[in-house]
Copies of this chain bind each other. A is one copy, B any other.
């Protein structure tokens, strides 16, 4: 900003050439002699010439821009995804535009509109529970890959987790340890992930209507915040027949529950067994560690990149894009058994 940027025309004038020749030389056009190319390249470097990508985008209709739209970058899962995508983007000379929705459809709409204006070539998005109709219309005009959540009205490949299976396995693990009264703290069911996970929990109580009703009474659904987890945990333990084990349905809950337990002098697993959702780096720091569903974060992030890249290479016909709109990758969470789950004693 201090120095006005140099344009290709000025550079050409300095060299006594037409700007078209300079353009071709810098883009490696075969019709320009090596000697001229070299001379131009050196002058460009010396003058600090940098092409204006707005002009390039306008002319070539290629923005070299991709978008990443996530609810929360402070979440370790999304941070890992962001890192993987940012690295891949740099390798491909893409520009990565980051938008954080905090699960608010308004912010989501803003992000998508901005990416549409910028003619983004691809977008990786974790959709909110209820995107605005305008947002859905705009998303149709972008090449999208959905991550984790899968909104029914967004036609695009989706990279998802077998959440229902995972929570079901976690619950089964507790049942196998003799626990009968099992609680569940889960994220809102407005999004697919929340629904799937709750369903996975309920699946383990489908034997009789009574057991199902009983399990239903020990369900706490709320926002993925530490504070909610702590409150929900205390509510569960305050029941007349409190659970002897609890399944957590979101990454964000483990810490809140553990801190509440520590404050209230509840011993894990002596008083309550616990299964968390998603490994945290501090999982092994507790005595005995936290039993948890481990998510293949790296693999998921890589799948995002690979899927997006494949999608970018596709011809932009309605047919081929629609054909590839089926969910492509479903990853399995893996139950890692550590010290926080123990046979009911």
User: How many chain A residues touch the partner (CB < 8 A)?
Assistant: 63
| Those of A22-66 within 8 Å (CB) of chain B | 48, 50-58, 63
Question: Which chain A residues numbered 273 to 295 have a C-beta less than 8 Å away from chain B?
Answer: 280-282, 284-286
- Decide yes or no whether A316 CB sits under 8 A from chain B: yes
Contact A141 B255 (CB under 8 A): no
Q: From B68, B72, B286, B316, give the contact of A83 (CB < 8 A).
A: B72
Q: Which residue of B lies closest to A68 (CB)?
A: B98
Q: Cβ of A225 < 8 Å from any Cβ of B?
A: no
**Chain B residue nearest to A115 in the complex (CB):** B95
A258 to B96, CA, bound (A): 35
A207 at the interface (CB under 8 A from B): no
Bound form: Cα–Cα A219–B101 in Å: 43
Chain B contacts for A93, CB-based, 8 A:
110, 114
- Cα-based distance from A119 to B107 in the complex (angstroms): 25
Does B118 lie within 8 Å of A53, measured CB to CB?
Answer: yes
> In the complex, A337 Cα to B100 Cα: how many Å?
34
Chain B residues near A73: list those with CB within 8 A: 73, 79, 82-83, 86
B86 touches A98 (CB 8 A): yes
Most buried by B among A54, A93, A97: A54
Contact residues in B for A2 (Cβ distance below 8 Å): 140-141, 316, 318, 321
Q: How far is the CB of A175 from chain B (nearest CB, A)?
A: 28
A18 to B258 CA separation, bound complex (whole angstroms): 65
Partner of A74, one of B53, B72, B80, B95: B80
Is A262 positioned at the interface, with any CB of B under 8 Å from its CB? yes
Q: Is A17 an interface residue (CB 8 A)?
A: no
Tell me if A14 is interfacial: C-beta within 8 Å of chain B: no
Cβ-defined contact, B95 with A83, below 8 A: no
A117 within 8 A of B: yes
